[in-house]
């Protein structure tokens, strides 16, 4: 969803029941809420949950409410609820329990469900039909080691063709 940052701040204030009073706020108050929203989303990013398309402020304490952001539609509710959470204490509004629960669900979805599940494959040197045997003792999956190369001073290497002459007819094999 492409929208300016001010849209998310206004929707966050509307979540607190102040949809008609948005225009009564000073621009500095809206910028302060936007800065706190940036800090909140940066904290989520430090935990490994990146909100793609969100543009952070260039310097601390400087936020441009007209900055266009393009975030996925699935994360719009998370950003709006985050704006409501960071704005509520500074304007003296109490949070509804439903708002807090919705934000927790949205954060959990972002933090846990977008993580890739590690995939494991069996190495190619396991016998066919070995499967997962819970009664077997010890390690069941063996690391695949590279083959040993026997090319030391006492080994002999004799290629089947001359490699350094101009007569390399490899079609005759």
Q: How many domains does the chain have?
A: 1
For 49, other C-beta atoms within 10 Å of its C-beta total 18
More confident residue, 168 or 88: 88
Within a domain: residue 132?
no
Chain Cα centroid distance, residue 157: 51
What pLDDT was estimated at residue 8?
93
The whole domain housing 32 covers: 2-112
Within a domain: residue 172?
no
Whether pTM > 0.95 for this model: the answer is no
What pLDDT was estimated at residue 81?
93
Within a domain: residue 66?
yes
Within a domain: residue 13?
yes
Within a domain: residue 24?
yes
Within a domain: residue 107?
yes
Within a domain: residue 56?
yes
Residue 70 phi, psi (nearest 5): -130, 90
Alpha-carbon span 20 to 24, nearest angstrom: 8
Lowest mean per-residue pLDDT among 23-27, 38-42, 123-127, 153-157: 153-157
Q: Which two tokens stand for residue 59?
A: 């310097």
What pLDDT was estimated at residue 19?
75
Within a domain: residue 91?
yes
CATH number at residue 56: 1.10.3230.20
Alpha-carbon span 35 to 65, nearest angstrom: 9
Alpha-carbon span 35 to 6, nearest angstrom: 11
Lowest mean per-residue pLDDT among 4-18, 86-100, 131-145: 131-145
């Amino acid at each position: 969803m492409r929208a300016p940052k001010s849209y998310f701040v206004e929707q966050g204030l509307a979540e607190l029941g102040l949809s008609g009073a948005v225009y009564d706020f000073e621009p500095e108050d809206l910028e302060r809420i936007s800065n706190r929203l940036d800090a909140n989303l940066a904290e989520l990013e430090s935990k490994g949950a990146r909100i793609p398309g969100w543009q952070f402020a260039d310097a601390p304490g400087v936020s441009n409410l007209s900055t266009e952001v393009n975030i996925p539609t699935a994360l719009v509710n998370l950003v709006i609820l985050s704006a409501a959470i960071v704005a509520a204490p500074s304007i003296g509004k109490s949070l509804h329990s439903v708002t807090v629960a919705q934000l927790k669900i949205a954060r959990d979805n972002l933090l846990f469900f977008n993580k890739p599940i590690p995939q494991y494959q069996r190495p190619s040197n396991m016998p066919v039909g070995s499967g997962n045997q819970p009664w077997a003792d010890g390690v069941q999956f063996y690391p695949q080691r590279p083959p040993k190369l026997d090319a030391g001073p006492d080994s002999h290497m004799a290629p089947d063709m001359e490699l350094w002459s101009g007569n390399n007819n490899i079609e005759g094999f």
